[in-house]
Amino acid sequence: MLSRPGAFALSTTVLLGSALASGETAIITVKALTTAPLLYANKPVTVTGRFRGRDDARNAPSSLAPLNRSRWDFLLNADDATVWVSGIRPAGWDFDLDPRSPADARRGQWLEVTGTVRVDRSGSRCAFPCQRMWIEASDLRPAAAPATEPAILRRPALIAPAVVFHDPIDDEIDVPRDAAVRLQFSRPVMPESLSGRIRISYASPRPIRAAPIPKFTALYREPTRSVIIEFDEPLAALQTVKVELLEGISGTNGLPLPSAAYRFTTGR
């Protein structure tokens, strides 16, 4: 029996519509999403594409104008179609991408993104392309590149974070007693992993009843990948102070920060 033209396409559309109506996550292409955004508005979808940062939006049409919903907004591209992704940081156990990094955008890490499609019709009928359309992501993970992708686009091996700068420097003398301690890392670290793993003590011989190191507060600043440690009271005069980073601190890519220690001596 001959089937009428378009029967398979119609059946596929019906199945897709049933999946969307039931609340199931539709696995679609970026091209399908950008071609018919209103079909998927406020529905859960999963798409796969290449991370393109956010610089590509500078000369893009109005549908891809900067989203500016969060600092982690980024573009996902596949099959000559591009969509914004918001609501989730493009990082995981074995990758850490920066939307403002041209190098990360050029490498084009393949990602699988799951989330809800949002369409902003700006109070008027949404003619294609929509003025505002993005995926409000709830999950993100690495994806395998198509077989046609050149190997050069693979992301390089992960590198563990390390301390690249600290102030005071090692063995510095005559450090002001009220000075803050600053450390900077080569790569982002998990702020919660710092808790309980920064130890500061006096290394000089001390009388039995001498006061211990004052209580301190350590504040992690994500934009500069740095920690600022401030003491509640001035340090004791003419004392050697030991700063230690204990095992257990980890980078956002999951790799551990090597333990480290250095000393400085306070002034009068």
10-residue averages of pLDDT along the chain (268 residues): 36 44 76 87 92 68 66 89 91 86 89 91 51 86 75 62 93 96 94 94 90 94 93 96 96 92 95
Instruction: Give me the sign of the Cα torsion angle 52, 57, 60, 65.
Output: positive
Q: Which CATH class is domain 163-266?
A: mainly beta
In single-letter form, the type of residue at position 229 comes to I
Residue 90: the pLDDT is 92
**Among 97, 93, 141, which Cα is nearest to 256's?**
93
Strands 44-51 and 26-27: parallel
Residue 197 near residue 247, CB atoms below 8 Å: yes
How far apart, in whole angstroms, are the C-alpha atoms of residue 76 and residue 49? 5
Residue 87 near residue 115, CB atoms below 8 Å: yes
Residue 59: the pLDDT is 44
Residue 28 buriedness (CB in 10 A; 0-12 / 13-18 / 19+)? buried
Distances from the Cα of 100 to the Cαs of 52, 88, 192, in angstroms?
Answer: 10, 15, 24
Q: Which regions of the chain carry the CATH code 2.60.40.3710?
A: 163-266
Instruction: Give me the sign of the Cα torsion angle 143, 253, 70, 195.
Output: positive
- Give residues with Cβ within 8 angstroms of 37, minimum separation 6: 117, 119, 126, 128, 129, 130, 133
Q: Which regions of the chain carry the CATH code 2.40.50.200?
A: 24-153
Q: Provide the token pair at 96.
A: 């850490």
Would you state the CATH architecture of domain 24-153?
Beta Barrel (2.40)
Runs of H (alpha helix) within the chain:
7-21, 30-35, 37-40, 102-107, 191-194
- Tell how many helices (H) and how many strands (E) occur in the chain: 5, 16
- Give residues with Cβ within 8 angstroms of 244, minimum separation 6: 198, 199, 200, 201, 259, 260, 261
Residue 153: the pLDDT is 46
Q: Is-above-0.85 flag for pTM?
A: no
Residue holding tokens 């398979």?
A: 8
